[in-house]
Structure 1
Amino acid sequence: MGAEKYQKMVYERMQENFLKWMEWDTIKENELYAFLHMLKGTAGSVGLNGLSVIANEKLANLNETSELEWIKEQWTVYLSPLIEALSFYEANQLQKDIKEVAQALVRNDTKKEFILIIDNDMAFIAYLKNVLEEKGFSVIVAHNGKRGIELIYEVQPAIVFLDIALPDNDGFSILNNIKKIKKDRTFIAIMSSQPSKENRIRAYVLGAMDFVAKPVDEDILFAYVANRLAYRKELEYAIVIDELTQVYNRKHFEGQLKMLINQYEKIGEVFTVAIIDLDFFKKVNDTYGHLIGDEVLKGFATLVKELKREQDIACRYGGEEFVLLMPNTDIGEAYQLVEKIRQTMAQKVFTVNGTTFYVTFSSGVMAVNQQYKHSKKLLEAADQALYAAKTTGRNRTVQFDSSIVDVKKLKQLKVIVVDDVYIIRDMLKTHFEELAINDEMIAEVTSFGDGLTFLQSSWYDANYKYIILLDWMLPNMSGIDVLKEIRARYSSKEVIVSMLTGQTGEKYVLEAFQNGADDYIRKPFQIVDVSSRILRLAERIF
């Protein structure tokens, strides 16, 4: 606690100087030198090494005895890393126990629902995103219809606010294309400044759940969002059938799994679980479109229902992943059944516009036993077997045994921080290194002080997914230019980029999204907020 006390004093001293100088027209270079000299020694002594490094770098260009006058625009730009570091500290100083908060966030906050805004008005997007996130909602945005449709399928948001006027298509056409998404109980609301009777009628006819007129009243909007999310939660609890595939959903699976485990513990009745994942399903979506992808999912589910036994329970686990619970079945019997389904699926013909294609799956099979009788451990074992099936060629079924315990790798995520402020890089890097993301995902963290060094490094490895926190203002090469270089080589399916920016104004938001940014985080920010966004963004790419 002693070090924290003195660190706080250093930041307070910085703030006093900056506030005092802001009232002056100019300051002398020797005053600037004296301040940085003090900061270099004091900050380093109390553990603020980042501030000490910055101060030392800035001192190198100053003359201790110079009477040169620095105007406000000059010294604020020159000391911008320190000003930014101070803002960062102030935004985070109220945190009582960052590890405890972060772990609670991992347990609870990652389950938050996304709200998607599809709108061409970047000022309105920025405003709406800000007011909703201040209330704790998770918001993603798209500035055209094409990107909006992609995010609907990738993220499956709880609520979509869709404007009528879009640059690439009108909102009604988009609505007509995505209305089938209601199978996932997404609430689609037209949000428009054209609330005519005709537009309202057309919106409802095409499948919108609501019509929200602009300008928006914040209090009404908050009440609306809370109402729809609560209703969605009720639906999820009440409905056990996946609407697209007509097999059971994940919630029902979890309940049935718990029941079978209880039976095993009471009377020793063995059961087996198989996790099934359609091979290269994203390629199907990319090649033939999401509607055809949906037809593949439905076709597979129908096949499973035809071939499974009456007592078997088929469920859609999520996306293109399914599970099959087989009561009173040992692993050998289960393997034979899953293999029968796999071989039949491999021969099933799918057709689109006269073109035929085939879809296979990989599967991992695990039977309950005394060592693996808890749901989490049982599913982890089946998932390890699934991973072994994928890494050994796909289109196969693998039974779990001890030889593959170490085969399954955790989902590999790399978080890269590109920021010229050392203290921000250091604090983010330290935080994420100490944060255990969850049992299935591990994050490696690296950082760079400028974009050019980052791009010239061998940072990319196809075995990883990436989230890059990219500062807007960088030396030598701007963050936007770095973003362009990233997007020229990698898509959002491989590399998600979140801009870190102190810039305000719609033009910056628009420029970021137009050049391929997936998100933006305004400075100053709190580390736990960044953690939350990282976790939610990571869910999109795995």
Structure 2
Amino acid sequence: MLNQVEATILEWRQRPYITEQELIRYFDQFLETADKFERTDAASFIRHRLERVFDRKINKKWFEDDWLPHLLDLKGAVSGDQPLSPREVRQTMQNEAELKMNDLTVPDLPVVLIVDPDTTYQTDMKQLLDQHAVQTGIALTVQKGIELLDSMNPALVIVDEQICEEAEETVCKEARDRILSESIPLVMTIHDGKAERIAELYDSGVPDVLVKPFDKRVFVSLIQNRIRMSRMVKAQITMDDLTGAYNRNAIERELIKLHKRHAAATLKGYSVAMIRTDYPETNKDPYDYQVNDLLSVKLVEAIMREKWKQDLIGMYKGKFVLLSPEGTEQDVKAVLDRAEDTFTALIDQDDALPSGMTFSAGVAEAGEEAEPPKKTIFHAEKALRLAKRRGGRTISLYSMESKQDQVNDEIVLIIVDDDRVVREMLTHHFTKRKVIAGRPLMVKTYPDGLSFVEGDWYEKDRQFIVLLDGIMPKMDGIEALQRVRNEYGQSNIVISMLTGRKGDREVARALSLGADDYMVKPFNVREVGARLDRLFERLNAL
């Protein structure tokens, strides 16, 4: 009976809510069982709850905070313990919530997802794996198993063949393909141990097959072996070799998972932090690659020490990114505040690194309407730019910045060309387009290099993309390029040269003098737009 209660708790926790009708039906059925086995204490407890608690509104929704106290009390009645007081129930639920969110004393245990309709079997396997330091996730349907793939990131999945027979063939195939495509070990449990059936499963791509009932020692050894292999493969395909952080492809996959869970309301929300180290003015060579590599290692180590267990640290567009499922902006700021102290301590312990190294970060929380993940990233990058412009060593929260305090997010597109048709064509296209990579833009034009370099266009807090023709009267593009780089540097200006097809020598010279890109005339204006979208990423990484 105790296992039955625990299995029900596992099952109901996978659902957003249950109805009062389901709860009453469950207590009625449990009452029959208690009477049958003469469990008078449990039967008395159930009768009391049925008479005093439920108002018989069959469609009333009971969320976990509502139904869990009753099942915990039932569990206590079955085991002979005293029912929990309301205060004890709240404390139990709070402890569990804290463990879910952040328990830095708990080791990073692997998670095994069990997809099986048999709740008794699931409870037995959970207890067995718990004894061997393996966490478990439970799904009673294939569809629920697919949802938990996103939220749990399991190291291994166990699927019962019977559950696939009961589900639609396309759903089961989707689950299998999804598991194998993400290099997650899959174990299929079956009841028919005939060699033909086992061979058929192997031929279909299933890596491991276990016939029920199986020896528990063999089962545990197999699971531990496959988890070790999974971790080795995962490290090779998703981790940065230098720092141990996730690579960009892995981060993008995790972002998509978070977005799907948020859109489906199975995740309350998530936050993203974009992070860059700050170089002090006393550092004569901020581009020393050995120093940069060592700083990256120390930064990741500091964040790994302080982050929540479910948070992910990775690389994205030349910066570090922290993904925090369920975390708010303030939660992530608290993590980064601790990480800053740890980072400083690690730097001070290493004589090879210059003292005074810090980092800046921008944090953004996904919107309530499940905005696209790129928009959340964009907001975090915007907050990071503001932090850097404030001198660094700052953690800027996107939501806390008033409209007056936020930097003007408009990109200034400057077209410098002596051909009036080219200027008007590009101006018309980009004025109609209105954005570059999602950023609003303003268009300015100049008919020659001299009017451009002498123009009153530069603002240190703005970002610029310049389309600069190579051959013009009064001052050509090469000389204008040199003047701009000498006077304004390249921290917030990206320059793309416009050149003729036979301008290879001029292109090479322009790139050596600080041009970021070049485009060959004649060009398609839509292709120019696509190139500028990519240039925006370069501008944003500066």
What TM-score do the two structures reach when normalised by structure 2?
Answer: 0.48
Pick the structure with greater CA Rg: 2
What TM-score do the two structures reach when normalised by structure 1?
Answer: 0.48
